[in-house]
Amino acid sequence: MLNIAFGQSKYYIDNLSENVKRGLRQKVRRGEYPGVAPTGYLNNRLTKKMVPDPERFKFVKKIFQLYATSNHSLKEVRNIITEAGLRSRNGKILCVSNIQAILVNPFYYGAFKFNGELYQGNHKPAITKKLFNKCQKVMKSKAHHTNRGIKFFAFRGIFNCGECSCGITAETQKGHNYYRCTKKKTSCSQKYVREESLNEQISKILQKVSLPSAWTKKMIAELEKEKDKTERADFSFVQNLKSQINECKDKLDKLLDLQLSETISTEEYAEKKQKILNQKIEISEKLKVFQQKGYSWLEPAKNFILVSNEAKNAASGTDLAEKAEFLKKVGSNLVLTDQTIKYFPRGAWKILGNLPHFSAEPRSGEAQNGTENREYSIVLPG
Ligand SMILES: [Zn+2]
C-alpha cells in the first residue's frame, strides 16, 4: 500500500515539476522574465508583466549614464545615486555589489538571462544596448587598473616615442606627473615630459581643430537641407536593416530546431543564441535610431560637427581624460619627439587643422560667404 501511495505521489510530483518547468519555458519564450523584478521594475500582478517602477526607473538609467562616463568608481556611483534618493524596495541603501549587479544585467537593455540562456524580453528597456556596452567596457578597463594596482594617468598609453617607437608611460615624482619613453627595445635619448606641458600642447591641438559655435549652427542647418533631398535613398537602408533582423530571426529558429533535434549541445545552443540575439538587438536599435532621427550619414556628419565644437570646450577645460579622448578622436599616430606631440589629423579634422583662420570666430561676413560657396562640404571622419 505504502509503495503504491509513494509511487503515486512521486508520479504526481514529477508531473508537477515537469509542468512547472514547461510553464516557465513558455513564459520566457513569450519574453516574460520569470522572477522578481530587478531594481527599477515592478511585477504587475494583473498582467504578469514587468513594468517600470515609477519611483526607481529613472535612477537605474542614471546609474548607467554615470558609470559610462568612466569618471566614477562603483562606490562613487552608489553614493551619488543614494544622495539623489534611490533606496531598495524595502527602504535600504543599495550596496556597491547591487550597483555592479545592475550594470551587468541584460534586463535593462531589454533582454534577460534564464538558465544561462539569453532571451529577448517584452518589457520596456531602461537603456540602449549601446550604453550597456559602454559600461561593460568601462568596467573591464577599471578592473584592469585596480587588479594591477596601477595609478591612473590621463595621457598614458596614447603616445609612442618618436625616436625608438616604444610606448610612453607615466610616473609621479615630487607631486608632478611625468611621461617618458619605456626604452624597452634599444637605448633612446628622449627625456621626460611634464604633464602640464602635454596638457598645454593638447589644448592647442584641440583649439586648432575646433569649430566656432556660429559655424556649427550653420553647418548643421546645411545638413538638414541636404537631408530632405536624400530621403528616398535611405529607404533601402531601412529595408536592409529589416531584412538583417529577419535573417537573425530565421537563424534563431533554425538554431532552436538543431537543439530540439539534439544535433547541438545545450551549451553550444545557449552560446550561439546569445550571439545572434545580441546582434538582433543591436540591429533593431540601429533601425530605431535611424527611424527616429533619420539618415545614417546625417548622424556621423552632425556628430563630427558637434564633436569639433565640443573640442573647443575640452581645450579650455581641466578634464585631462576628456582631452585625451578628444585627441584620440581627432588624431592618429600620436608620437612624442623632443617633448613635442606630433600627430596625423584624422579624416575631416585634416581640413580643420589646415585652415589657419578656422579656430577664430568668423566675422559675420565671412560666415555668410562660406555658406554660399559651399566651403562647408564635409568629408566624413574615419
Ligand atoms: Zn624612445
Torsion of CA 52, 53, 55, 60, to 10 degrees: -60
Q: What is the DSSP letter of 127?
A: S
**180 Cα–ligand 1 center, Å:** 8
**178 Cα–ligand 1 center, Å:** 15
β-strand pairing of 331-337 with 193-194 = unpaired
Same domain, 213 and 338: yes
**148 Cα–ligand 1 center, Å:** 24
**131 Cα–ligand 1 center, Å:** 38
Residue 24: inside a domain = no
Give CB contacts under 8 A, 24+ apart, made by 64-69: 64/102, 64/103, 64/108, 64/126, 64/127, 64/131, 64/132, 64/135, 65/131, 67/103, 67/135, 67/138, 67/139, 68/131, 68/134, 68/135, 68/138
Residue 3: inside a domain = no
Residue 381: inside a domain = no
- Phi/psi of residue 49, nearest 5 degrees: -110, 165
Same domain, 189 and 316: yes
Give CB contacts under 8 A, 24+ apart, made by 21-29: 24/114, 28/112, 28/114, 28/119, 29/119
According to DSSP, the residues that pair with 169 across neighbouring strands are 180
**336 Cα–ligand 1 center, Å:** 9
Same domain, 137 and 39: yes
Same domain, 283 and 360: no
Amino acid at the residue 350? K
Query: Which residues are found with C-beta within 5 Å of the ion, ligand 1?
Result: 161, 163-164, 166, 181, 188, 190
C-beta of residue 68 within 8 angstroms of C-beta of residue 139: no
**189 Cα–ligand 1 center, Å:** 7
DSSP string, 268-299: HHHHHHHHHHHHHHHHHHHHHHHHHH--TTHH
Same domain, 43 and 169: no
C-beta of residue 154 within 8 angstroms of C-beta of residue 323: yes
Inter-axis angle of helices 57-68 and 74-84, nearest 10: 150
**323 Cα–ligand 1 center, Å:** 24
Residue 357 to residues 72, 185, 210, 341: CA-CA distances in angstroms?
Answer: 38, 42, 11, 22
pLDDT at 146: 58
Of 147, 180, 201, the residue that ends a domain is 147
Identify which of 75, 54, 77, 55 has the alpha carbon closest to the alpha carbon of residue 66: 77
**190 Cα–ligand 1 center, Å:** 6
The whole-angstrom separation of Cα 190 and Cα 339 is 8
**144 Cα–ligand 1 center, Å:** 25
Same domain, 104 and 49: yes
Q: What is the DSSP letter of 232?
A: G
What is the domain extent for residue 260? 231-296
The whole-angstrom separation of Cα 346 and Cα 380 is 10
**172 Cα–ligand 1 center, Å:** 19
pLDDT at 355: 61
The whole-angstrom separation of Cα 257 and Cα 252 is 9
Identify the segments of the chain with pLDDT beneath 70: 1-17, 20, 144-150, 229, 231-233, 293-297, 353-382
β-strand pairing of 331-337 with 160-161 = parallel
**339 Cα–ligand 1 center, Å:** 11
Same domain, 41 and 134: yes
C-alpha cell of residue 140? 573591464
pLDDT at 231: 67
Same domain, 122 and 39: yes
**298 Cα–ligand 1 center, Å:** 42
Residue 54: inside a domain = yes
Of 147, 171, 199, the residue that ends a domain is 147
Residue 21: inside a domain = no
Q: What is the DSSP letter of 191?
A: P
The three state secondary structure string of 196-212 is HHHHHHHHHHHHHHCCC
Same domain, 328 and 181: yes
What CATH number is attached to the domain comprising 66?
3.90.1750.20
Residue 322: inside a domain = yes
**347 Cα–ligand 1 center, Å:** 28
Residue 153: inside a domain = no
Q: How many domains does the chain have?
A: 3
Same domain, 50 and 121: yes
Same domain, 244 and 132: no
Torsion of CA 147, 149, 153, 158, to 10 degrees: -50
Same domain, 314 and 357: yes
C-beta of residue 17 within 8 angstroms of C-beta of residue 72: no
Residue 358: inside a domain = yes
Angle in degrees, CA 51, 53, 59, rounded to 5: 130
Of 124, 147, 170, the residue that ends a domain is 147
